[in-house]
């Protein structure tokens, strides 16, 4: 008797590092369930797209990715399509209405049950539910919408889609046992899921749910698993990492967790991302100041510096508070690299408020800055505020700030020339002929890199280099003997 062919599942991962952690778990779940996993949907039996729904641009990218899969399916080169992740959670019903080729929608609670969903839609004998399966109790409006979609589908194509959008799980997800998508030598370590901050512009709490911190033992076990799997650098992520422990009520907080990871994780580098300025404590600053393995780096999204805007955003901090925090960080951790993000065109942002932000950016000189154009998100407080800034003005402000930041970043890269640093090699660079490496002040995937001549080293290698030139945002380095600067 011929052996049944192993079904092929492709995974398309979109969005931020937190989503990437989910993608890595999905891949492992599919592989453990007997699927051959791949990143190429062309020729796969089923493609799972792990989606992002953060802002309008992310949603547009997600729709585009789904459309590409639908085109493959129409051409007979892909079997089935499953939409998972944030967009499925936020807008699963609308995804089905927009994309007739989607066979299943699975929300965040079903991350670890994707193999079952895939099997159900692949098996011609599996009894597909006669009606879409709303795991959470649907509202009357959703029922009506869902029924309409199903009617439509029954008429056109036979089987109806599976819809699994459940309530948020009570605990943070267990992210152990992943098939990692990052290079072996670095890994994302999620310490919290969800967020309780309710910033006025942000839809994330509605998508990802309330704050849930992982148990410290689970964080440590995962850190050790990642290090045993070859990770030299652990990048701590969560919607708000400084909130770690607040929901547990057992005395754990981020500073204690960092101290424990320092003692017990055996990672060479530990990097702190996604902090909240209003929750940044002196204890955390002290942990940063104690040095490696915690790298002198912090990702500190500020979003704005004008007091009226900060208050309207609900950021719980003023410009003076931001300046004090930056001063404390720079004094306690000399040479610390600070990454931040800003939002331009938030409702009520006057021309003066925007100029205040631009002046601040020029004065403070962050190491790395990301800028988002404000996107009014359904269900958020900010979307209902008066004084919405016209889209073309938002865009102009973004252009203006990006030009300023580009100049500052190029100047900063030129100032690096002559420095001796320890870097870790990531792999081939976007610039042809180079390898990309990073020093402690550069996070993977979002920050500029140090370019090395190809052949000089292999991914994961740590070496001392001397910066010899600037190349736009990046720098070019040559391997050198001797110690890095202290
Ligand atoms: S801290 Fe604010 S911006 Fe960040 S995820 Fe929470 S609510 Fe959203």
Closest ligand 1 atom to residue 195 Cα is 6
Strands 269-272 and 294-299: parallel
The share of the chain scoring above pLDDT 90, in percent, equals 74
CB 11 within 8 A of CB 30: yes
Q: What mean pLDDT do residues 435-452 have?
A: 96
Q: What mean pLDDT do residues 452-461 have?
A: 85
CB of 276 within 6 A of ligand 1: the answer is yes
Closest ligand 1 atom to residue 274 Cα is 4
CB of 240 within 6 A of ligand 1: the answer is yes
Determine the 3-state secondary structure of 227 from DSSP.
helix
CA dihedral 378, 382, 383, 385 (to 10 degrees): 150
The pLDDT of residue 109 is above 50: yes
The residue whose CA has the least distance to atom 2 of ligand 1 is 199
Note the pLDDT of residue 134: 41
Which residue among 195, 196, 200 is best mutated to probe the pocket of ligand 1, counting the most ligand atoms within 8 A of its Cβ? 195
pLDDT band (50, 70, 90) for residue 133: very low
Is the model more confident about 150 or about 428?
A: 428
Q: What mean pLDDT do residues 186-210 have?
A: 94
Calculate how far, in angstroms, residue 336's C-alpha sits from the geometric centre of ligand 1. Answer: 24
Note the pLDDT of residue 485: 73
Q: What mean pLDDT do residues 276-304 have?
A: 98
Structure tokens that stand for 353 in this block: 């408020």
CB of 202 within 6 A of ligand 1: the answer is yes
CA–chain centroid gap for 415, Å, is 30
The share of the chain scoring above pLDDT 70, in percent, equals 90
CB of 310 within 6 A of ligand 1: the answer is no
- Give the phi and the psi of residue 25 in degrees, each rounded to 5: -70, -40
CB 219 within 8 A of CB 21: no
Average pLDDT, the chain: 90
Alpha-carbon distances, residue 122 vs 40, 47, 159, 429 (angstroms):
18, 11, 11, 39
CB of 199 within 6 A of ligand 1: the answer is yes
CB of 195 within 6 A of ligand 1: the answer is yes
Calculate how far, in angstroms, residue 346's C-alpha sits from the geometric centre of ligand 1. Answer: 15
Q: Tell me: the pLDDT tens digits for 137-189?
A: 344 444 444 444 444 444 444 445 666 677 777 889 999 999 999 999 999 99
CB of 265 within 6 A of ligand 1: the answer is no
Q: Is-cis flag, bond preceding 293, omega within 30?
A: yes
CB 274 within 8 A of CB 19: no
Which residue among 197, 203, 302 is best mutated to probe the pocket of ligand 1, counting the most ligand atoms within 8 A of its Cβ? 197
Note the pLDDT of residue 297: 98
Q: Tell me: the pLDDT tens digits for 391-427?
A: 999 999 999 999 999 999 999 999 999 999 999 999 9
């Amino acid at each position: 008797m011929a052996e049944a062919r192993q079904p092929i599942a492709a995974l398309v991962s979109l969005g931020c590092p937190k989503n990437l952690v989910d993608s890595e778990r999905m891949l492992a779940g599919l592989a453990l369930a007997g699927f051959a996993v791949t990143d190429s949907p062309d020729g796969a039996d089923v493609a799972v797209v792990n989606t992002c729904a953060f802002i309008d641009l992310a949603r547009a990218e997600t729709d585009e990715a789904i459309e590409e899969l639908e085109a493959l399916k129409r051409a007979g080169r892909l079997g089935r399509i499953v939409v998972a992740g944030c967009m499925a959670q936020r807008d699963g019903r609308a995804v089905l209405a927009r994309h007739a080729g989607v066979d299943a929608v699975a929300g965040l609670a079903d991350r670890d049950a994707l193999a079952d969903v895939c099997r159900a839609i692949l098996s011609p004998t599996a009894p597909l539910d006669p009606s879409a399966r709303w795991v959470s109790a649907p509202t009357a409006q959703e029922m009506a919408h869902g029924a309409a979609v199903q009617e439509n589908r029954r008429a056109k194509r036979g089987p109806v889609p599976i819809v699994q959008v459940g309530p948020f799980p009570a605990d943070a997800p267990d992210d152990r046992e992943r098939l990692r998508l990052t290079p072996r030598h670095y890994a994302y370590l999620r310490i919290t899921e969800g967020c309780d901050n309710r910033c006025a512009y942000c839809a994330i709490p509605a998508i990802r749910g309330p704050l849930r911190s992982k148990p410290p033992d689970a964080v440590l076990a995962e850190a050790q698993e990642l290090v045993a799997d070859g990770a030299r650098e652990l990048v701590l992520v969560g919607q708000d990492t400084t909130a770690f422990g607040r929901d547990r009520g057992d005395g754990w907080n981020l500073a204690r967790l960092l101290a424990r990871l320092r003692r017990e994780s055996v990672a060479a580098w530990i990097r702190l991302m996604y902090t909240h300025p209003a929750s940044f404590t002196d204890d955390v600053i002290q942990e940063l100041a104690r040095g490696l393995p915690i790298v002198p780096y912090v990702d500190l999204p500020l979003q704005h510096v004008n007091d009226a805007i900060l208050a309207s955003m609900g950021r719980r901090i003023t410009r003076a508070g931001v300046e004090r925090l930056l001063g404390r960080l720079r004094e306690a951790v000399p040479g610390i690299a600070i990454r931040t993000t800003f939002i331009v065109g938030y409702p009520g942002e006057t021309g003066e408020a925007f100029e205040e932000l631009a002046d601040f950016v020029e004065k403070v000189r962050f190491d790395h800055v990301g800028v988002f154009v404000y996107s009014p998100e359904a269900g958020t407080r900010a979307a209902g505020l008066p004084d919405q800034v016209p889209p073309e003005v938002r865009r102009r402000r973004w252009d203006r700030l990006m030009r300023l930041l580009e100049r500052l970043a190029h100047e900063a890269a030129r100032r690096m020339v002559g420095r001796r640093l320890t870097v870790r090699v990531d792999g081939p660079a976007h610039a042809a002929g180079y390898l990309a490496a990073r020093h402690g002040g550069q996070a993977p995937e979002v920050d500029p890199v140090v370019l090395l001549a190809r052949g000089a080293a292999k991914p994961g290698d740590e070496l001392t280099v001397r910066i010899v030139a600037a190349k736009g945002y990046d720098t070019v380095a040559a391997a050198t003997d001797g110690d890095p600067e202290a």
